[in-house]
Structure 1
Amino acid sequence: MLPETFPSPLFLPFNSECVKERLSLLPPGPDGGEAGVWAILRGTELLVREGEPPGLSFGLLPEELRALEPKAVRLGTWDGRPCRALALSRATGLPPGLVARDILASRPDLPVDLLSLGGVAGQVLHWERGSRFCSRCGGALEPIAGEWGKSCLPCGALHYPHIHPCAIVLVRRPGEVLLTRKAEWPPGRYSLVAGFLEFGESLEEAAAREVLEETGIRIRDVRYVGSQCWPFPSQLMAGFVAEYDGGEVQVEEKELEDARWFPVDDLPSLPPKRSIARFLLDHHIPGV
């Protein structure tokens, strides 16, 4: 159901552009209690109605899930109706009439708007689970009216959603690209070097450091291309293209299973097209 190409990283799944016509995001709070739609997540699976096209569960929660309703979080409105998010344990059975679609799957069998709504719901629920207590004093946190932030009554500290920036970089030299592989990925799949920012770094500095640490390769001319929200659970992937500036491949075995240069006309299995890694490969090397 996803397009084969994206005109820019802005339109990649999980970015707000994909849901802006349907979702009006609102901070947690009462929503009047009227019937609405449900973004129900079981791990990384979004539960949708059976049939084509897939749709969200509407109205009251299925009877099997009714006891969990107090744990639901308001997301805002979806097509003008109240929209609520609810997390289930992975062991929860599927209520009749609903099917599970994994939003992290290479081919998730969901349109881009529902896929992206599942990502938003996952990020919000992750923040709610991880923001019950103050990291400074251990006191209980309370929502700040009209915001996504929370405040600690005992010590006064303010806390806001934690978004973790990462740099991901396509490294090129004439006729070749540098690709890496982690052991837990599907067999034969390779992707790009990526990593989290460290204290004091710019995104470009993080890109260069990660490439050097993981592969022993030095890079130059690091150029920003675009970014993608990556709600697994709360990353922002900033995509770059860079040129080879020296060094031989030395695999950092704590991080990677393999790293090597591949000819652009003989590439291995690549990341799904829903990712900024694939966008960089598709748009910044010839013949992919």
Structure 2
Amino acid sequence: MTPLPDFFESPLHLPFNSTSMDGFTLLPPDLEPPGTDGWWLALRSNALLLSEKGSIIDLPYGPCPADTSDSKSIFIGTWQGRPVRVMAMNQEEDVPSGFVLESLLSANPRMQPAHLSLGGLASQLLHWEANSCFCSRCGAALQRLPGEWGKKCEGCHYLHFPHIHPCVIVAVRRPGEILLTRKREWAPNRYSLVAGFLDPGECLEEAVAREVQEETGLRVKNIRYVGSQCWPFPSQVMTGFTADYAGGEVVVEEKELEDARWFPINALPDLPPKRSIARYLIDGAGAEAGTRDAGRGSRKP
């Protein structure tokens, strides 16, 4: 059973956001305290190495729990007053005795929200490290800037900082129904919401309207911001919206989607896990519809 809650008070409390990291402080790598034991975030792809004692799994603490022959650890900050270091595990390395690999993308992860969120941050920072060795302008090597996460090109001196890519995701509604889409590679009967990256020169609301029309042929109105979620796979921030149906018939954009259709809010297919802002928006649409229906039922003619 997952220790994640079945309900999140707001998008702010969703996993992968800093609020879920329970007091973690991000610090630049060059501020690592020398010779101090701490927590380890060791990753193999999107799986986090955790210590396992009976039914209890936890972050490793103390000496490095994995082989460091091909990977250098990186200090990223402090958690519970102790240093936190990340490292990428060798793909062929055996899992050490007393440890287990747990996927960060599991629908029902066994780890605590703080562990899941810290693992996501580790994945995002390792992605930045792996893709920031050389300058994208001139090809020269990059050197870390002291006291921050940026890097400076040795050749043209251009400054580089971790890339975060803004995306929109939207729950489109009409009375009693919600618009859901699915991609071919998803699990059978799994549906989610229209989502996509921003284009140059558009604001978030414009991206919502464009993505809905491109993927489904529908027009929307009353676009309203709900909240956001860091999505570190590898480096997105998902900005969540609701919108009302304004017109058109569903026409599926088959290059991206396998299906798109209206579903009754009380008869939904398989949905994204509750750790995602997609599910938060879908659940919110259902709760709002239920409130409206209850309100109508209480009115006297």
Corresponding residue of 1:38: 40
Give the structure-2-normalised TM-score.
Answer: 0.92
Q: Offset at 1:234?
A: 0.3
Kindly indicate whether residue 119 of structure 2 is the aligned counterpart of residue 118 of structure 1.
yes
Corresponding residue of 1:206: 207
- Give the AA of the match of 2:278: A
Give me the whole-angstrom Cα distance separating, in 2, the residues matched to 1:271 and 1:197: 22
Kindly indicate whether residue 148 of structure 2 is the aligned counterpart of residue 144 of structure 1.
no
Larger C-alpha radius of gyration, 1 or 2? 2
With over 3 angstroms needed to count, the CA separation of the structure-2 counterparts of 1:150 and 1:66, relative to structure 1, is closer
Contact 1:15 1:116 in 2 (8 A): yes
| CA deviation string 1:134-153 (max 9, x = no partner) | 00000100111111111112
Q: Offset at 1:68?
A: 4.3
Give me the whole-angstrom Cα distance separating, in 2, the residues matched to 1:97 and 1:183: 38
Corresponding residue of 2:197: 196
Corresponding residue of 1:13: 15
Give me the whole-angstrom Cα distance separating, in 2, the residues matched to 1:123 and 1:28: 15
- Give the AA of the match of 1:86: M
Give me the whole-angstrom Cα distance separating, in 2, the residues matched to 1:195 and 1:158: 28
- Give the AA of the match of 1:234: S
Q: Offset at 1:35?
A: 1.6
- Give the AA of the match of 1:210: E
Kindly indicate whether residue 274 of structure 2 is the aligned counterpart of residue 273 of structure 1.
yes
Q: Offset at 1:262?
A: 0.6
Give me the whole-angstrom Cα distance separating, in 1, the residues matched to 2:112 and 2:156: 45
Kindly indicate whether residue 228 of structure 2 is the aligned counterpart of residue 227 of structure 1.
yes
| CA deviation string 1:43-80 (max 9, x = no partner) | 11111011243211111123x514246x1111111211
Corresponding residue of 1:261: 262
Give me the whole-angstrom Cα distance separating, in 1, the residues matched to 2:290 and 2:41: 39
Corresponding residue of 2:130: 129
Give me the whole-angstrom Cα distance separating, in 2, the residues matched to 1:222 and 1:92: 48
Aligned to 1:278, what secondary structure does the other structure show?
helix
Give me the whole-angstrom Cα distance separating, in 2, the residues matched to 1:249 and 1:87: 44
With over 3 angstroms needed to count, the CA separation of the structure-2 counterparts of 1:14 and 1:223, relative to structure 1, is same
Give me the whole-angstrom Cα distance separating, in 2, the residues matched to 1:2 and 1:24: 22
Give me the whole-angstrom Cα distance separating, in 2, the residues matched to 1:150 and 1:216: 43
Give me the whole-angstrom Cα distance separating, in 2, the residues matched to 1:264 and 1:225: 19
The percentage of aligned residue pairs carrying the same residue is 58
Contact 2:173 2:245 in 1 (8 A): yes
Contact 1:219 1:242 in 2 (8 A): yes
Moved more, 171-180 or 82-91: 82-91
List structure 1 segments (4+ residues) > 3 angstroms apart after TM superposition: none
Give me the whole-angstrom Cα distance separating, in 1, the residues matched to 2:21 and 2:110: 17
| CA deviation string 1:92-114 (max 9, x = no partner) | 22011110110111011111000
Q: Offset at 1:19?
A: 1.0
Q: Offset at 1:287?
A: 5.0
- Give the AA of the match of 1:267: L
- Return 5+ residue gaps in structure 1 as ranges: none
- Give the AA of the match of 1:55: D
Contact 2:189 2:269 in 1 (8 A): yes
Q: How many residues align?
A: 285
Give me the whole-angstrom Cα distance separating, in 1, the residues matched to 2:173 and 2:78: 44
